[in-house]
Amino acid sequence: MPPIYEKPSYEKYDYVLIGGGSGGSASSRRAASYGKKVAVVEATPYLGGTCVNIGCVPKKIMWHAADLHEKMTQHASGYKFTGLGTPKFDWAVFKLQRDAYIRKLNGIYASNFEKEHVEFHQGFGNLTSPNTVEVTLPDNKGKYTLHADKICIATGNQPTVPSDEEIPGASLGIASDDFFDLVEQPKRVVVVGAGYIAVELAGIVNALGSETHLIIRGETVLRTFDPAIQEVLTPWMEKTGMNIHKMSKVVRVEGQKGQTLTVHTNKGEKIEVDVLLWAIGRHANTQGMGLEELGVKLDAKGDVVVDEYQNSSVDGVLAIGDVQGKVLVTPVAIAAGQRLSNRLFGPEKFKNDKLSYEDISTVVFSHPPIGTVGLTEPEARKKYGDDAIKIYKSNFRSLYFSMIDEEHKEPTMYKLVCAGPEERVVGVHIIGQGSDEVMQGFGVAVKMKACKQDLDDTVAIHPTSAEELVTLR
């Protein structure tokens, strides 16, 4: 195992980062590649942050398991596979296997640090000046100070959970991060929230056969997404057996942890479940770091306020990733971190390097998956005016489902939002099998400011779902 440092190796570092997640790791390694003295302070023993340990990676693995379960139980018979019996998912054994893979990734992160001469200091980091980070060792075994020319805050965020004062019994539930600690598959689950984390986790347990309830405040899930996405996904989730409680809020939770819980809603419903999971949002990990005392400006949500170059309000203190509240996805943290190190430590050609936060593609691993980039239709109409917007949309089912029973045929919807007389593609919103993979290429097209004619001039790949985007009329 590569070394974990417990004291400074240098009188002064070029760059110290607090947080060893995706952004901190990427930025530190890029800085080290320019020959700089770099240290990363991480509170946990495991590098990789939320994404590797309790986010994107284990989530996608669980999504694959859920997707495979659907294929075996609902699709295989349509393709005339017989003798499969009733597949049973062994959650407990699979968890051990999944966790082992995550530990392997942690080891890769640590090995990369060692190879590229990035020091890993395990402990809680807080700023005592614009150029010093105090590191408190685990279990309060001691403290020491790292001095640096530049300090970067890359501590990410954490789930928001209501207090028992706000909702009596709320603490009987678990946060979305705790989902991956569940040793056994819960038979009955309530997920609270309508965002992508709620949709993904509810979709996983539902597809694996758990009785699943989703409590949302509005009429649809994913309310910040294009309306066409909401209108396709919400009824399909209900069709797959998920119980969506619309226009609802949790008002009280009764029971004991580890036993049956009774979740009460504002509509008088009583839902008995084994697990209550809160997925109502996240907030920045900025508590106890000495930021406000130092004059680092935070917004009302606790996010570090930064300019376009990731500079905070204090000279020499920077922030990247979820902690600065803009586009909360792993690749953004990585890209911002790498560009920041290019600007700070790289050659002259990178002196103005920065990340553009426009037209960033993202996906939701729902069932079926979603891909989206650019403006939603309402956003485009607000920006350019109704008369300047042209919508191209198609609803269909992919060829894969032609052999499958009608009740299990997943919907697909592809939509282009175009603006101006040149019909520049300012938004792409797709849902359906394979949309997560399709999105990456069309994200490039939007970033390059492609117009509808550019898509029309592209010869289709047949038979695919993706060809629909270059044949829309």
Q: Which residues are catalytic?
A: 462
CA separation for the pair 263, 271 (Å, rounded)? 5
**Which residues lie across from 294 on neighbouring strands?**
none
Distance between CA atoms of residues 276 and 214, nearest Å? 10
State phi, psi for 57 to the nearest 5 degrees.
Answer: -70, -60
Q: Are 200 and 63 in contact (CB under 8 A)?
A: yes
C-alpha 452/C-alpha 407 separation (Å) is 34
Contacts of 57 (CB under 8 A, 6+ apart): 48, 51, 102, 105
Q: Is 438 helix (H, G, I), strand (E, B) or coil?
A: helix
Read off the DSSP letter of residue 459: P
**Which string of b and e fits 342-376 if b means at least 16 CB within 10 Å?**
bbbbbeeebeeebbeeebbbbbbbbbbbbbbbbbb
Query: Look-up: residue for tokens 């009429």?
Result: 219
At which residue do the structure tokens 């400074």 appear? Answer: 8
> How many helices (H) and strands (E) in the chain?
11, 22
Report the distance separating Cα 54 and Cα 99, nearest Å. 10
Cβ neighbors of 164 (< 8 A, separation 6 or more) are 170, 171
Separation of alpha carbons 435 and 71, rounded Å: 17
DSSP helix/strand/coil, 43: coil
3-state secondary structure of 370: strand
- Bridge partners (DSSP) listed for residue 261: 255, 273
How far apart, in whole angstroms, are the C-alpha atoms of residue 296 and residue 314?
6
d(CA 371, CA 415) in angstroms, rounded, equals 11
CA-to-CA distance for 65 and 372, rounded, in angstroms?
24
Contact call for residues 28 and 57 (beta carbons, < 8 A): no
- CA torsion 293-296-300-303 (nearest 10°) is -120
Contact 245, 269 (CB under 8 A): yes
Return d(Cα 30, Cα 337) in angstroms, integer. Answer: 8
